[in-house]
Each structure stands twice: as structure tokens, then as C-alpha cells.
Chains A and B, each alone.
Chain A
Amino acid sequence: MSDSVVYTRRDFLKLVGIGAAGAASGCAPPQAEKLIPYLVAPNDVLPGIPYWYASTCTECPAGCGILVKQREGRAIKIEGNPAHPVNRGGLCARGQAGLQGLYDPDRLKGPMVREGGAWKPVAWDQALRLATEKLAPARGKVALVTSHATGSFHALCGEWATAAGGTHLVYEAFAHESMREANRRTFGQASVPRLDFERATFLIAFGADFLETWLSPVGHARGFATMRARRDGGAFVAVEPRLSLTGANADEWIAIRPGGEMALALGMARTIVTEGLGAAGGSGAAMDALSAYTPEAVEQQTGVPGATVQRLARAFAARRPSLAVAGGIAAQSEQSVALHAAVNLLNHVAGNLGETVHFDRTLNLDAVAPFGEVQNLIAAMGEGRVDALVVHGANPAYAVPAWAGFVPAMDKVPFKISLSSVLDETAEHCDLLLPSTHALESLGDAEPLRGVYAILQPAMQPVPLFDAKPAGDMLIALARGAGFGQSFPDGWRPYLEARWRPLHGRFGGGRDFETFWRETLQKGGVWEEESAATPARWTGAPVFASPELKGTGELALVLYPSPALYDGRGANKPWLQELPDPTTKAVWGSWAEIHPDTAAKLGVRNGQPIKIATEAGSVELPAYVYGGIRPDTVAIPLGQGHTAYGRYAKGCGVNPLSLLSAATDAASGAVAYLSAKATVTVGAQAMDLVVTQREKIQSERVVAEVIPLAALAASAAVPGVSHAGSHDDSLAASAVADSMHGGNADTSHRAPAHRAAHAASGHAPASGAAHHPVHPSQTRPGKYTEPMARPPDYRPPAHAVTAFESEHPARSGRQNPVTEGHYKHAKHRWAMAIDLNSCTGCSACLVACHAENNVPMVGPEPIKRGREMHWIRIERYERKLDGGENDVRFMPMMCQHCGDAPCETVCPVYATYHNPEGLNAQVYNRCVGTRYCSNNCPYKVRAFNFFDYAAPEKPTFAFPEPLNWQLNPDVTVRSKGVMEKCTMCVQRILEGKGNAKDEQRALRDGEIQTACAQTCPTQAIVFGDLVDPESAVSKASHGERRYWVLGDLNTKPGVTYLKKVQRPVEPV
């Protein structure tokens, strides 16, 4: 399928030419355009028709399955692969942004060699000859450093290194080696288990940011949402010194002293054992280790009250199966193995091993080198034991902490080759650049989970602006040239196929290899539905010790991975740079989070510069005054402060790794990110803190609403009530989507992927939380908070009709929709239901929207003035932050497509009007830019083109070549002076209706999905047709938690929100 798309680069260029012309905007005078056809028409490619290619995401080691949309030979959109076991349809912001890595304008144009200080382009054959000349003599002293690669490429690298008589090092900044080490010691399994969030009824996270960067965030988020969709339990406690995005989703936040997590875990375990609550009972060995951790001792060590320790322990043991997860990067200290071991012990005594902690389909991080090996390599390079270094994918020069001295050691290596496709920090220190193709341009495979064999296939011909070669081919060519490649086949593809022969044997089911291969490419890989679990049992506890933070400072320094930039590899993508950080809502830079008390002591206000100094060094950053952090702690995000890596990354923010002094985990050798104490003083100057949301207090307005579980239970218990909301046994709005779609086996990538609604079914409503008091204000009528129990003959109130039910079935064409305020007689009423209980605030929907709708990224300066162009935003409201009961609310906000839209009546030229299917339309080329609509919009969701972001000749051009190749040809690129906003992806609606028409059938519910709904890892957004009473969105919109934002304005929004559920943590 991939290689059946055959056209030459030339065609490709020309094709893109057309596309660009199509996307060009503004009032250009009509001029004769050239129309360039294919030279030889590929038999299955037709201009104007999108093609989808299954592949695997390489933006982080999780290895989510993706589907890449290709139009006229250009990859224009990435979506999650619903059939894929890792992510089941969802995809995170980083995965979506992979496209901008492909179209990065700063990618290398071709091979280059360093002469003197400067880079000089060379021809490929010359470059390869040079490389082989240098490699041949270096045999035996060659080092190959790659990023996390599983499957064939990893095997190739291994063989290559062996043949070269050198070493192969798989470098990942976040290698989770201490977790693997701890599992080896306690469970006898040196691997990363599969954590079953779905089944857990009580979850406690000791510093693990499992919704952001930890292991497999998309998969976790989906399981987490299912867990939170329960009426019984599903409580979540976060234990961390700084409230992360993950912690913000918790019912309770234990603001623990940095490094105290282990003691708390052991204290809980001890309580469980001593009180005999556990299933497994206390194994003797464990008990000895635990005896020291009495509640009092824990309180004294961590500052967490002994009562709390016992309360949590009892809840953890009572709600079974429960789950405890540990060890995000932010919590990776000099004792992180001990922390992991403690949490393993906690899971063990509570009997979760095999219940929620499985060693069957383990995350394939086994090959990633522990930091110890990186240090060995550094030593080897430093001592001149490496004559040639080959780097691919990894960027250790940036990501290895300065104290480890990677760069100076690397500079000692005589000859260094980089296969990176962009000039990152590591490549800058190399002597020869052999750019390899981007993952979306290359063929390959991966094994993200054990037993899951996924495919990487090129979604397009390599971008012709960049003369790159597949890394596999290059390695083989180098090996042959250098004379140690005899064992290799004559290219990467044959090597790959050879690797797949055995799999063909296992999964082929009798089909010939070609068929098998083609089907695998279509499906995205092969995997068993269930993998056998390798037996894991408690083998004994290691010595437990709490970490000590080094340094003289009074504040503990917490470095946490940025949810958008991961370890820094996202920094060259505008979409991710301009993605408001879920916690601070800051873009394009770094900051330091400090507690209001600390700020008061220093006398700094939000955004003012502060100086953070440790023994290793100091940085100046704008302060972000944040209640969600301990007064004795300062937190800085990782991932910024690049000195190279393209125009978007370079010089943006600060790299806080320079603040670390030599410290590694005692047992596993992992980098101890949590190891330093810092002194904070008022700074002289720092970059600005650019935020998109300044006010985080929602005041007494109906914006992001919550409802206590007890109120729900009460409502469900009302006798004799049968209402559409009775589906609401599970709170998840979109669980309905599945209960509906479980039936038809529609595995097209558009259908909402099958979610585990079953996990919720069968639990009696009203169980749990019976004692929790309902605050009167939350059941007071009129505040959109009363549980909506509807009698059988219920008709929605008049003001709800347009949002919930169309008034008449059929529309006569005579009515001109433009003059028709209400879409009476509509065939459809497109609408959304957004479940605040499922939304984790991960912001994947933003990037999906940018990609689908050609939203320009405008950079920090305009955003300072509130001129961001986003069509959808995640609003964050903080009601209670200071430890204990936690109340942070995330709310996706886009155009509400109001039934009575304030914007429509005021537009003097009908540029915005109500279309007969309930959409609030915005016609760009009718807009004259009075901006009255935005003034009158209560939700402020309209973005105005203050400058020309679409004109290449303007300084404000937002899509420098070839970023503009990603533009969606189905969506207008807006020009200067017009208003724009969410269209509910009308181009997708039209396409869906067209398909249905072609097939002479009615639209299927879920067949049309907006970009945001499609990518949402937790399926918090449901899109559909309100006219169809059976549609998922209708049912969700009638759910008992429904309400409208600012409903008292009576705008009759088409977007219905479902209140977030507040859960008690206490056990029943």
C-alpha cells in the first residue's frame, strides 16, 4: 500500500504546488495558474481524495498506533489508530505534533561536513565515502547511540555495533531504569508492568505523572477515565510536593515533603499489614522492613498526619482492586528504587499483583540503557577509547545533565557522525551530518508492548526539500563501506522482511507473505489479543532509605517534564511551544513555580524575575505564583532552553538541568532529578511569562461545574423515575457511545473506539459515599446543578428545545437559512457533549484542532496581548489547592454553536449566521471585520486575524515552507482582518454526509467526528446529531449531570457540559 503510491519527486513537488495555490488566500488578482498533472497516474491515487496510512508514533517510547491522513501526496493529519492496543484511538498533543517535525523548516537540506568551524554541504556519495573512510580504521572503537527503537531497527543497530566491534547505546532521557530495577528486586521482573487503571477502584499515585509523560500516557488516560466513570469508588489520591496536571485530576492531594513518598507508602503498607486488611497478608520479610514505619514515624518523616496515613491505608485496602503507581521523573531521587520498591510492596500487601499490576503485556523499555551505561560511554569517550561515534535520533548533548560531562567527552572523539534529520545540540558537535528520513517518511517496525508488533510505514514520499536517506539503509551502507557489513542484506527493506518471516509464520494464518504483509500494513501491525503473563511474585524487599537533598538552599528543587515538550524533543514544534501548559497556561518559555508564601517572603509578584541558585549553577526565570506547590519547594519544567534544534526551539526558555550537581540513584544509577536544594532570590531580568489564562478563580459564575457523588446517587435513587439519563450508571458520557457502537463492528477509524463501558456496568448506582453530605448550594434549583430526573412525559423546557430537540423533522428548501434564525425543520442538529468528569486537561484536542483547521501559531508577542488564534482552549479553574480535598477543574471551551447566538444578530453583513443544521457559521470572505460578534460573544471563543498570518510576503507569516504543506486543503486559510472560530469541523460533516449519500444510506451515529472528539484520549468529547434521539450525544446531553456554561444567558448552546463528579476518599 505504501509503495503502491508511485510518483516521482517532481510530480510530488508540482502537486504540492497546486495544493499551495489552493490554500493561498487573500484577494490575489486572477492570474494564469499552471495545472500540473501526474506524469503516470498511480492507479489508486486521485487528487482530492484522502488516503490513510497506519503507522506508529515515535514521539515518545509509548509507541501509540497512528493513522496518517494523506492528501495529494502530503501527510496533513495524524490520528490515533482505534484498533491499536496501546492507545485505542486516542492520541496526545505530542503525537499530533509529529507532523511539524516532518515539515520542520529547519530540517537539514542534505548531508553536511564540518570544515573549520563551518558546515559545508556535500554530495551523498562523498559524505558516505568520508564516513566509511573514518569508520573502517575505527573498527572495534565505534559507538552507536540511538533513541528508543524497538523491533528490527534495534536489532539492526545491535548487529551493526557487534559487527563494528563497538557498543550500541539506546539513550532515553526518561529511561525508568529505577522502576525496572525495583521490579527486578521485588518481583523478579526487570520490566515495566501493564497497569490496569480500568479495574482499579482506588488509585494512589506517588509522584507518577501518568497522564502527562509517564510510560504510556494515552493508554493510562483512557483507563483512568473508565475508572473515574464509576459510581462506586474510583477515587484518586495524588502524593507529590508539586501539584502536576495528573495531581490536578485527583480527589485529594497529599502535599508531601519532597522525597517523603516512600515513607508514606511504607506507612500505608504497615497499617494494612498490622491491621490485617491486606489480601496477601504481610509476608514476614516485608514486615521486618515495615516495622519502623509507624504512622507517627511517617508523620515525623513526611509531615503527613498519622491519621491520614491510616485513612489512606484503610481506603486502599478496602477498595479492591486498588492500584498504587510511583516514580515520575519529578520524583526520581537518589532513592527512587527504594520508592518503587515501597510502592510495589504496598501493591503486594494489598493483593494488587496480578489484579491491577500485570506482567503480561509489559512496556518494552528493556533495551533502554540505564544511565550507568551512558556514564560508561562518557568515560570511554573521555579516555579516548572511542574513535568514531554515530548518533541517531537521540540528543544526549542536550538531555544529559551537564555534570555528567557528555559534551566535553564527546568532543574528544576524533570523528562523530550524526544521522539526525535536524541540527540539534548533539549534531552540532558532530563532524558529519547524514540526515535520515523522518519517521513518517520511513519504513520500519516497532514492538512497543511485548507481543505487539507494530508497523512504521511512510505516509508520503520523503519531503523533497530535504535530501535524506532511511537510517537503516545508511547504517548498512556504512557497514559495507567500512568492510564489516558482509552479514547484512543489501538494504533495509530486505532486512526488515527477513525479520518478519517468523511473524508471518505465527500470524500469517496460511496466507502468503505478500498478503500478510499488505494486511499488516493496513492494520498497523499484528498482536495477540491477550499475552500470557510471566509469573511475578514477591521476592523480598530491598533496604529502604529516604533520599537526602544536597545543597545549602532552603527550597527543594523539583524538575518536572513538560507535558508538551517531554524531554525537550517537542521544542522545535510551534504547536507544542504554543500549547498552553495545563498547569500555568504559559506558552513559549520557562518559568519557576513558587508558593504564594514564598513569593510574599521574597516580595515578588506573578511574572517577576527570580533567581534560582544551586551549588551547580543558577538560572533566572519569571516566577509563577502557584498555590499547588509546597512553600518549601520550587519547581521548573524541563524541555526548554535549547542552544540549537531549529528556530522555534533555539533560545526559548531555560534548561534547568544545569542546576543539577552529580547525583544518581544509589541502586539503579538513574539521574536523580530530585536531588538539589536551591536558594531563591529576586532576579534582575528574565524572559516574560506569557500566559493565555490570567484569572484562575471562577468566582460565582456557572462555568466549570461539579456535583458531589452523593447528589447523583440520591437522584438515581429517586423511585419511579425512568429517564433518558438512566444510561448514566456509568458517568462517562461517551460510555454510551460504546454501548451503542459495541454492536456494529464498524472499525473504520472514524467510529468512536470501543471503550470499556462494561467496567462500569453491573455496579449498583448509589453505592459508595452515602455519608457524604450534599452542600445545599449544589442541589439548589436554578443553578444548573440539580440532578435532572425526568418523568416519562417529560418535555424539555422551551429554552432547552433548540439545544436538545429539533422542532420539526423535514425542511423545505424554500426557507433561506440565512434569514432563518432557528434551524426549524432541520434534518440534523450538530452538537457536542463534553464530560468534565473525563477531561483530564491534557490539551491533545488543541493540537488536533490546529492541524485540522489550519490555525496559525502566532508566537509569544501577540499572545502577551491576548491575541492567540486557538479555536479551542482548556480553561483551568482552581477552587481549592492547598492540600487535602482537591478542586481543580478543566473545561474545554470552543464555539458553543448557540441556538440563540448573540454574535449572529449583530453582524451587519451576515458573515456569521445560523445554518439549518444548528451550526453557527462563519463565512470568512463575507466578513468585513467589525469584531462586533466577538464583543457580543459571552464565551469569547472568536479569534480575529489581527495580522496577515497567511501571506508569505508578510513578516507575520505563520507557515514558513514547508510547514504550509501540512495545511488542510479542505479548510480555508484565513486572511488579514477576518474573524474565525470553531466550525465543528464542518468539512468533516460535509464529507460524512457526502459518503452517506454516495452509499444511499442514512448517516451513522459516530461516523462523523470532529478532530477534537476523535483525538481525545478519554473520549470526553462526544459529537453527533441531536435530532437522532438514539445518538450518543443526545443521550449524553440528557444525562443527569448536564448543564450549559453561562446557561442563565439563555444562549441555548449546542455544546452541553456534564458536571465533574466530586468523590469522597474515605472508605465506606
Chain B
Amino acid sequence: MPDLKQEMADVAAAIERLETQAAAPATPPAPGKVRLRHPHTGDIKEVDAVPEKLIPIMGLGYQQVKE
């Protein structure tokens, strides 16, 4: 029972950390760059904001991160 209580406390703390991170203002990408994120893996790439650089990454399913 104490283990279960500790587990629940850990989960609650993890959720709180995630919520804090989500609420924190994201650092904008460097000038002339766009941030793309893979919706499944969560991998983030910062790419030059020009179509020839964006297309190969977007073709793999990466989507623009709204800053």
C-alpha cells in the first residue's frame, strides 16, 4: 500500500512537471529557422526556413511547432 501511495505521488509530480514545462514560454527558434517536430517520436529539428530544407524533413512527417 505505501508503494502504491508513493507511485501515485510520483505520477502526480511527473504530471506537475509536464504541466510546468508546457506552460513555460518556449524559446523561439533562431532567426531564419523553423522548428519541426515529429508527432510520434517527439524529435525536434531546427531547420533553415527555406522550402528546399523543409521539404525533406516534412516529408518524413515532421510538423511545424507553433511558437
Co-complex (A, B): no
